Structure 1
Amino acid sequence: MRRRSLLLSVPAGLVTLAACGNDKTDSGKASESASPTTSATGPSAAPAPKIVSGPLPAITAGTKFGEKPTVAKGSGQPSKDLAVKTVIAGGGRTVAENDFVQAHYLGQIWDTAKVFDNSYDRKTPLVIQLSQGQIIDGWRYALTGKKVGSRVQLAVPPTWGYGTQGNTQAGIKGTDTLVFVIDVQNTFNAKSSADGKKAAQSDTALPTVGTNTDGAAPSITFHGAAAPKNLVANYVIEGDGPVVKADSTVLVQYKGVLWDTGKEGKEFDSTYARKQLASFSLQQVVKGWAQGLTGKKVGSRVLIVVPPSLGYGDNPPPNSPIKKDSVLVFSVDILAAM
């Protein structure tokens, strides 16, 4: 058995959540197609591009934000620079490099107008980090500085796309310029939090979780009770987003502590401490996480109490404060799901 990091970039903390079992890809549903993530096998050596306004082919149908667009074939030779145009200017938060963005997109080849990928038909937007080595550089440079609610069109030469190797699975040659239309739905960073209505925390046998939404780690306060024998998964803040499915990939903030009959449990893992959000498939985590988050709404903060049988059982992570009989307590903010 091999234990995988669940992060898209690799601070070591979240390996403590990885489930033992079959190795599966941890890049989420969108990576099953030729999404912009699949070329990112390592840091790019390409210099920063010059960004120009065109040429770009016309969007001939589906011209509203969130609609699947139809894009004409490129006319003449594309620019050797990165062509970027804000087709619809949004008024939301500004996207910064290293943010996670949530976006619908369509990608096609300049010369043929062949669509090689689109998220609109899947009805699930992509959630991906705008960092070197995680996504093609064309996206990283084009979306940084744009606002949520914007539709952005770009033409990406091979240098800032799939390189001279292309992407044979998608039918992309190493000489192809790629055209994308991207609808930026949301952006998340290390200070993102749940966004919903506070839920009652009336069971004094359970820890109380803080309801601050300022991006700081919430408190987890114990009240001297014994740990429950069964899984607990309760709303602390209830969002109004889509429901998380058993095979979803989620973007989260979380804090994990050991159950304690005192006031504060020992913290063993936290995205807040690393200042790095976590993204992973629910099919790759301990059963307590998978069961606890399935059916919960995006935008929520959830208290999850994981008994050993749904955690690591008799195989706790090495060099960790987690023991065979440890009951794990988490506060989890579900920021996005795909």
Structure 2
Amino acid sequence: MRRRSLILAAVPAGLVTLAGCGDEKSDSSKASDSASPTAPESSAAPAPKIVEGPLPAITAGVKFGEKPTVAKGSGQPSKDLAVKTLIAGGGRTVAENDYVQAHYLGQVWDTAKVFDNSYDRKTPLIIQLAQGSIIDGWRYGLAGKKVGSRVEMAVPPAQGYGSQGNAQAGIKGTDTLVFVVDLKATFNGTSSAKGTEVAQENKDLPKVGTNTDGKAPSIEIPKADPPKKLVANYIIEGDGEEVAADSTVLVQYKGVQWDGGKEFDSTYSRKSLTSFSLQQVVKGWSQGLTGKKVGSRVLVVIPPELGYGDNPPQGSGIEKGATLVFTVDILAKM
């Protein structure tokens, strides 16, 4: 069984449970109430054959990052997954199980009806290319593409919403869907903060490693009493937008106890990123990360009353009344 994150808050507020957060199937598709390409209930079809067409023409908005206008499909679409790179990017290669950040537009082949697009929302989607998280057309069609690419796909029902369709979006079970996707970024278990190192001058606080090679940074606990109040300091300061109190974030993190420095949880150990809402986590996390910039590495020292208190999760190895120390890389705001 995959080990889950230990940071999700339970009721009453301020406590946490082992359930519900921290695996790679976390739903990160909250950018819209419409039909973003999240997976239907069942997504276990075999890998599809991928062909180059046919695909409708892009008639306007042809540059990367521009909202495209896509012609109506001509004739019958392929029964296979059709994928074409319209603009070849030079960034990192996307792999299955990565999280991708992308702008996209989706419409129905036969009618050219646009059922969803992120360009008007001005917020790219961040979602994992994993079975059960996203439709198979995206899962297979985007794997192997590079960041900076614009990709067009014609997705048959078997790799889309299946025979049940998506009634909310007006998609029938026989509809082939056309997507134009601009790949802005990709994240996986080797992703790290990117920014400017900040001096760690307080000798009474833990010192955190500044490596950005995807490996877990070190945490050196000082020979001092733990602070009584919450500490949330930049180790690496990114240049992204600030995280709000109700934001959902994608992170790498590692947690140790102040006494003894024993690690009790880590995305690095699981080799899997975690996404969560700051409204769902222990108070030390929500207060410590609010206002911090995307791309940053943050030292968070949580006193017991803002963490687990006298009720640590069973089997976690965390002592009652423990002060907790985290290094958190904020990779994206979702």
What TM-score does the superposition give when structure 2 sets the normalisation length? 0.92
SS in 2 for 1:179: strand
Alpha-carbon distance in 2 for matches of 1:194, 1:293: 14
Report the CA distance between 1:199 and its aligned residue.
0.4
Partner residue of 1:217?
216
The answer to whether structure 1 residue 285 and structure 2 residue 292 are counterparts is no
Partner residue of 2:15?
none
Could you list the per-position Cα deviations for residues 246-265 of structure 1 after superposition, in whole angstroms to 9, with x for gaps in the alignment? Answer: 222211110000112xxx51
Partner residue of 1:3?
none
SS in 2 for 1:84: strand
Contact 2:8 2:20 survives alignment (8 Å) = no
Q: How many residues are paired up?
A: 323
Higher mean displacement: 326-335 or 108-117: 108-117
Decide whether aligned partners of structure 1 residues 120 and 73 sit closer, same or farther in structure 2, where only a CA change above 3 A counts. Answer: same
The one of 15, 20, 26 equivalent to 2:10 is 20
The one of 302, 315, 318 equivalent to 2:311 is 315
The answer to whether structure 1 residue 204 and structure 2 residue 203 are counterparts is yes
The answer to whether structure 1 residue 274 and structure 2 residue 276 are counterparts is no
Partner residue of 1:71?
70
Partner residue of 2:258?
259
Partner residue of 2:149?
150
Contact 1:13 1:270 survives alignment (8 Å) = no
Which structure's residues are more often helix, by fraction? 1
Alpha-carbon distance in 1 for matches of 2:262, 2:159: 45
The answer to whether structure 1 residue 324 and structure 2 residue 320 are counterparts is yes
SS in 2 for 1:212: coil
The answer to whether structure 1 residue 37 and structure 2 residue 41 are counterparts is no
Partner residue of 2:61?
62
Contact 2:39 2:136 survives alignment (8 Å) = no
Unpaired runs of 5+ in structure 1? 1-9
Partner residue of 2:2?
11
The answer to whether structure 1 residue 139 and structure 2 residue 138 are counterparts is yes
Decide whether aligned partners of structure 1 residues 24 and 277 sit closer, same or farther in structure 2, where only a CA change above 3 A counts. Answer: closer
Report the CA distance between 1:31 and its aligned residue.
5.6
Partner residue of 2:248?
249
Alpha-carbon distance in 2 for matches of 1:221, 1:334: 21
Alpha-carbon distance in 2 for matches of 1:295, 1:269: 24
SS in 2 for 1:289: helix
Decide whether aligned partners of structure 1 residues 21 and 115 sit closer, same or farther in structure 2, where only a CA change above 3 A counts. Answer: farther
Report the CA distance between 1:24 and its aligned residue.
10
SS in 2 for 1:245: coil
Alpha-carbon distance in 2 for matches of 1:139, 1:286: 34
Partner residue of 2:302?
306
Alpha-carbon distance in 1 for matches of 2:57, 2:249: 34
What percentage of residue pairs aligned between the two structures are identical? 74
What TM-score does the superposition give when structure 1 sets the normalisation length? 0.91
Partner residue of 2:16?
none
Alpha-carbon distance in 2 for matches of 1:87, 1:47: 26
Query: Which amino acid is the alignment partner of residue 27 of structure 2?
Result: S
The one of 290, 296, 299 equivalent to 1:294 is 290
Alpha-carbon distance in 2 for matches of 1:313, 1:116: 47
Report the CA distance between 1:316 and its aligned residue.
1.9
Contact 1:89 1:150 survives alignment (8 Å) = yes
Alpha-carbon distance in 2 for matches of 1:314, 1:109: 55
SS in 2 for 1:319: coil
Q: How does 1:99-248 map to 2 (within 5 A)?
A: 99-248=98-247
The answer to whether structure 1 residue 335 and structure 2 residue 331 are counterparts is yes
Alpha-carbon distance in 1 for matches of 2:139, 2:282: 32
Give the root-mean-square deviation of aligned CA atoms: 1.9
Contact 1:237 1:300 survives alignment (8 Å) = yes
